[in-house]
Chains A and B, each alone.
Chain A
């Protein structure tokens, strides 16, 4: 098992290289396949939550036939407590755009979109300015790739890649059935690569430092570094870049306020880790790494925490599929009823069972992930649910 001592690192926010889009230029001197190999070699996994190996995704995309292929940067960042993608777009937009361009080069795609969360519209002027520079250099490098900004529809579920595509097509933000995956039939039915903002920025940095160096961060299973949006009972709230593979106890030592009783990793869709597991749990192992990291101290009611999450899910579910639309409401009403004594304690077990059914029957990641926080909170803080 990996057991790093926590290290804060600084890769992703380092200053730009000397000339604009120099990394892109250098990368374009390599063979397309070699670029993808490098990304595969680096072990980079998607930073949007699902954690799919980025290099393999790019390879699938490269193998898709067609002369109309899209690259979409997912900047929807709709989850409460996350702000890492915004920080990237504010501080190092060039790295994000470079990453998109490298992906476009490697996968033969010719059109790009940045799907920007509606609340981030104020970033558009600065981004447009950067895009002007980019398009100038792209032309110089002979890269046929234009990027446009698409202002998002505003719902959390629109961050799910197929709902995002639906909303870009002017439809209601409802996740699609998969397969076909966006790589096969995405925006306007064409092959579409969707990656998170941080995934693209990381790809740029891998091209800059090389897979070897990037891999030297983290542990054998968890390569590289990652941004964490830290919030809750922490004196150091904000975005921090950390090596992957650290123990929660190290994390809590650095970011907690000395009285941490639980850490929620991977945002609302992630898991809640209670104090008793701090020594054994590793960030990124068996828990998702997207989203926010929330720290709770002993003054927090975990019932309230869960209640908030469930309210969020019951509102943000797109509502199309039965297990998620109704299941989220049942979990919410159910814990309320147990708390009020209208349902016996054992009803919590029925709800846990229901949440597991939601996991295996819901259509998209939203409904499938509710069980993570639900079960980890109810099982670890059962007394708080009842009394």
Chain B
């Protein structure tokens, strides 16, 4: 434990550990200091300078986010000198800014706008130094970049470098030309980017946004010839409320379903159904791989097997470890399984011509937009998913629809492909896929539920970047005898920085795991790039808690017990990893360039 020091902030005594920043010390006693470049998830930058405060005896103001609290000193956060400096700094930012709030996607949810309002800055105080001729880069299917709205806080750069280890973005040029650039200033779709959207989620302004498709969705809804089916990811229902006036961590599943129906969606279905299906396919794939490696000594089969439901992660491994794609499960993500089935199984069962079906996914994610556009994602004979929207876009659509969300009744998902289990719900948090897979795999192999209280495999839950667990398999059913007494080593990683650590071990041949879950986004989908802004550790924790509550509230909590899953195998797919599954539910990967 490090030394405690004390100081005074605005006349109030506070004790903090040595090394604590002034900003953190102030927050401890509920003194609010504005920030722009600061973000709890990232290393300190200290470049926007709006967080300046006065330290007694110093002429210069100190940036509170990057200055250690000085022992025994007096700090003032609200003097005329401080307010004046902040107001001038915000005015400077505005003078460099393409201030078009009324038409900006981040209007009413923008940190620059908030500060400009708070300090009531005069937009004409300084001359405009906005660079002329800046164009919005809309080349990517997932991310839009508008430099005219950029305040150069470099949060995106730090996000991509520190959390994701991708380095798609960098600060380029100096002085008045300094800007945030992609590698070689190439269009976004040509650079190595995973489309994870983590940079978007941390951008304080409208400079980085997800590419939006909601207008196409409204068009489809309004077209009487089209049959619109929507599926929503597990993590959307625990975050959407934040956009509609609810406390963070509120579950709004029932109202969300009603809202979709009221918006005119023809069939309100659940990605959780295909999450359960993923567990069956992926669990069986794992068992089959284990068998091939352990019994048949087939060296062409790769272990550890790694999950493939996070499209940001999939793009990452394609770029960074193109020689190790054999480790990825061949299962499509739940979104894409849903898309394919919506235009095959669902169409068949409902007697609707698949060409008239428009399949929409509501996702916590920006990478899902790219995934939906992948050329190989058309096994149904059509484009499997027609559009992927973020939680944010969906929240906006609900507002546009004029719905009084809070007063909507709760209703249930439609059928078929609307039924799900608790195991599917927890896909939304890091560790959830692993837990769901173990619940089912253990039951399949032994005929008994996993030996954990309430089926909660707490070892794989939590927030550590990499977590691991070992499970001893005992009392196998005869056909799984080869696993008797074996210890299954599993790991969970979230955030691509951690994924890289896992992959480096695999590349070096030192990985001790059999099965690994990787999520591109810190916290898993609840912290996805398409989730409401802001997202930070505290918010992620509350959304995660809501996910596990949702799981506990479900009557069925193992994927293979989902009656609709049982039914789809009986009526349509026949068996896991069977012929139809292979055609519709599995995919292949593309090695890509590192640069």
Which of A177, A337, A353, A359 makes the CB contact (< 8 A) with B44?
Answer: A177
Q: How many residues of B contact A (CB 8 A)?
A: 39
Given A177-B63, A361-B52, check contact A318 B178 (CB 8 Å).
yes
Residues of B within 8 A of A317 (CB): 174-176, 178
Given A177-B63, A320-B47, A363-B46, check contact A333 B84 (CB 8 Å).
no
Task: Give B246 Cβ to nearest chain A Cβ, in Å.
Answer: 35
Residues 142-193 (chain B) with a chain A CB within 8 angstroms? 151-152, 154, 170-171, 173-178
Residues of B within 8 A of A173 (CB): 174
Q: Is the CB of A337 within 8 A of B127?
A: yes
A362 within 8 A of B: yes
A241 within 8 A of B: no
Residues 226-244 (chain B) with a chain A CB within 8 angstroms? none
B501 within 8 A of A: no
Q: Is the CB of A322 within 8 A of B47?
A: yes
A224 within 8 A of B: no
Q: Is the CB of B66 within 8 A of A315?
A: no
Q: Is the CB of B46 within 8 A of A177?
A: yes
Task: Give A164 Cβ to nearest chain B Cβ, in Å.
Answer: 15
Stretch in B91-99, B303-311, B518-526 touching the partner:
B91-99
Q: Is the CB of B127 within 8 A of A363?
A: no
Residues of A within 8 A of B170 (CB): 172
Q: Is the CB of A326 within 8 A of B95?
A: yes
A328 within 8 A of B: yes
Residues of B within 8 A of A114 (CB): none
Cα–Cα distance between A368 and B50 once the two chains are bound (Å) = 16
Residues 170-187 (chain A) with a chain B CB within 8 angstroms? 172-174, 177, 179
Q: Is the CB of B176 within 8 A of A328?
A: yes
Given A360-B59, A361-B61, A363-B46, check contact A322 B92 (CB 8 Å).
yes
B126 within 8 A of A: yes
Which of B46, B126, B174 makes the CB contact (< 8 A) with A155?
Answer: B174
Task: Give A175 Cβ to nearest chain B Cβ, in Å.
Answer: 10
Say what secondary structure dominates the interface of chain B: loop
A64 within 8 A of B: no
A73 within 8 A of B: no
Q: Is the CB of A326 within 8 A of B93?
A: yes
Residue of A nearest to B86 (CB): A361
Residue of A nearest to B157 (CB): A172
Cα–Cα distance between A337 and B96 once the two chains are bound (Å) = 17
Residues of B within 8 A of A328 (CB): 175-176
Q: Is the CB of B85 within 8 A of A325?
A: no
Q: Which among A315, A320, A328 has the greatest number of chain B C-beta atoms within 10 A?
A: A320
Which of B48, B61, B174 makes the CB contact (< 8 A) with A360?
Answer: B61
A314 within 8 A of B: yes
The 0/1 profile, CB within 8 Å of A marked 1, for residues 259-277 of chain B is 0000000000000000000
B396 within 8 A of A: no
A334 within 8 A of B: yes
Given A155-B174, A328-B175, check contact A361 B47 (CB 8 Å).
no
Residues of B within 8 A of A313 (CB): 175
Residue of A nearest to B129 (CB): A329
Q: How many residues of A contact B (CB 8 A)?
A: 38
Residues of B within 8 A of A333 (CB): 127, 129
The 0/1 profile, CB within 8 Å of A marked 1, for residues 47-62 of chain B is 1111010000001110
Q: Is the CB of B127 within 8 A of A325?
A: no
Q: Is the CB of A361 within 8 A of B89?
A: yes
Cα–Cα distance between A360 and B59 once the two chains are bound (Å) = 7
Residues of B within 8 A of A315 (CB): 174-177
Cα–Cα distance between A316 and B67 once the two chains are bound (Å) = 25
Residue of A nearest to B88 (CB): A357
Given A322-B47, A325-B152, A360-B59, check contact A330 B129 (CB 8 Å).
yes
Q: Is the CB of A319 within 8 A of B171?
A: yes
Q: Is the CB of A322 within 8 A of B89?
A: yes
Given A354-B88, A357-B89, A363-B46, check contact A319 B129 (CB 8 Å).
no
Task: Give B17 Cβ to nearest chain A Cβ, in Å.
Answer: 16
Q: Is the CB of A320 within 8 A of B154?
A: yes
Residues of B within 8 A of A318 (CB): 174-175, 178
Q: Is the CB of B175 within 8 A of A330?
A: no
Q: Is the CB of B152 within 8 A of A361?
A: no
A157 within 8 A of B: yes
Residues of B within 8 A of A172 (CB): 170-171
B68 within 8 A of A: yes
Which of B52, B92, B173 makes the CB contact (< 8 A) with A326?
Answer: B92
Cα–Cα distance between A319 and B89 once the two chains are bound (Å) = 14
Cα–Cα distance between A92 and B126 once the two chains are bound (Å) = 49
Task: Give A357 Cβ to nearest chain B Cβ, in Å.
Answer: 5
Cα–Cα distance between A334 and B45 once the two chains are bound (Å) = 29
Cα–Cα distance between A323 and B125 once the two chains are bound (Å) = 15
Residues of A within 8 A of B173 (CB): 319
Cα–Cα distance between A354 and B66 once the two chains are bound (Å) = 23
Task: Give A8 Cβ to nearest chain B Cβ, in Å.
Answer: 36
Residues of B within 8 A of A155 (CB): 174
- How many A-B contacts if CB must be within 8 Å? 115
Q: Is the CB of A323 within 8 A of B49?
A: yes
Say what secondary structure dominates the interface of chain A: helix
Residue of B nearest to A332 (CB): B176
A149 within 8 A of B: no
Task: Give B7 Cβ to nearest chain A Cβ, in Å.
Answer: 16
Cα–Cα distance between A174 and B152 once the two chains are bound (Å) = 13
Residues of A within 8 A of B93 (CB): 322, 326
A9 within 8 A of B: no
A327 within 8 A of B: yes
Residues of A within 8 A of B127 (CB): 330, 333-334, 337, 343
A321 within 8 A of B: yes
The 0/1 profile, CB within 8 Å of B marked 1, for residues 214-258 of chain A is 000000000000000000000000000000000000000000000
Q: Is the CB of B49 within 8 A of A322?
A: yes
Given A322-B92, A333-B129, check contact A363 B174 (CB 8 Å).
no
Residue of B nearest to A316 (CB): B175
Residues 56-82 (chain B) with a chain A CB within 8 angstroms? 59-61, 63, 66-68, 81
Task: Give B391 Cβ to nearest chain A Cβ, in Å.
Answer: 31
Q: Is the CB of A320 within 8 A of B152?
A: yes
Cα–Cα distance between A58 and B5 once the two chains are bound (Å) = 28
Task: Give A162 Cβ to nearest chain B Cβ, in Å.
Answer: 12
Q: Is the CB of A326 within 8 A of B129?
A: yes
Q: Which among A157, A173, A321 has the greatest number of chain B C-beta atoms within 10 A?
A: A321
Residues of A within 8 A of B44 (CB): 177
Task: Give B100 Cβ to nearest chain A Cβ, in Å.
Answer: 19
Which of A179, A359, A363 makes the CB contact (< 8 A) with B47?
Answer: A363
Q: Is the CB of B129 within 8 A of A363?
A: no
Task: Give A361 Cβ to nearest chain B Cβ, in Å.
Answer: 5
Q: Is the CB of A329 within 8 A of B52?
A: no
Q: Which among B92, B93, B173 has the greatest number of chain A C-beta atoms within 10 A?
A: B92
Residues of B within 8 A of A329 (CB): 96, 129, 176
Residue of B nearest to A315 (CB): B175
Q: Is the CB of A314 within 8 A of B175?
A: yes
Residue of A nearest to B46 (CB): A177
Q: Is the CB of A321 within 8 A of B47?
A: yes
Residues of B within 8 A of A357 (CB): 84-85, 88-89
Cα–Cα distance between A361 and B90 once the two chains are bound (Å) = 12
Residues of B within 8 A of A325 (CB): 96, 152, 175-176, 178
The 0/1 profile, CB within 8 Å of A marked 1, for residues 558-593 of chain B is 000000000000000000000000000000000000
Cα–Cα distance between A360 and B177 once the two chains are bound (Å) = 23
Query: 20 new A-B pairs (CB below 8 Å) besides A323-B89, A343-B127, A363-B46?
Result: A157-B174, A172-B171, A317-B176, A318-B175, A319-B173, A319-B178, A320-B154, A321-B46, A322-B49, A325-B152, A328-B176, A330-B92, A330-B126, A330-B127, A353-B88, A359-B60, A360-B59, A360-B60, A361-B85, A363-B63
Query: Could you list 12 A-B pairs, sorted by A, with CB under 8 Å?
Result: A157-B174, A177-B44, A177-B63, A313-B175, A319-B177, A322-B50, A325-B152, A326-B129, A328-B175, A329-B129, A360-B60, A361-B52
Can you list the 10 inter-chain pairs with the closest CB atoms, starting with the nearest? A319-B178, A326-B92, A177-B66, A320-B47, A315-B175, A177-B46, A317-B175, A329-B129, A321-B47, A360-B60
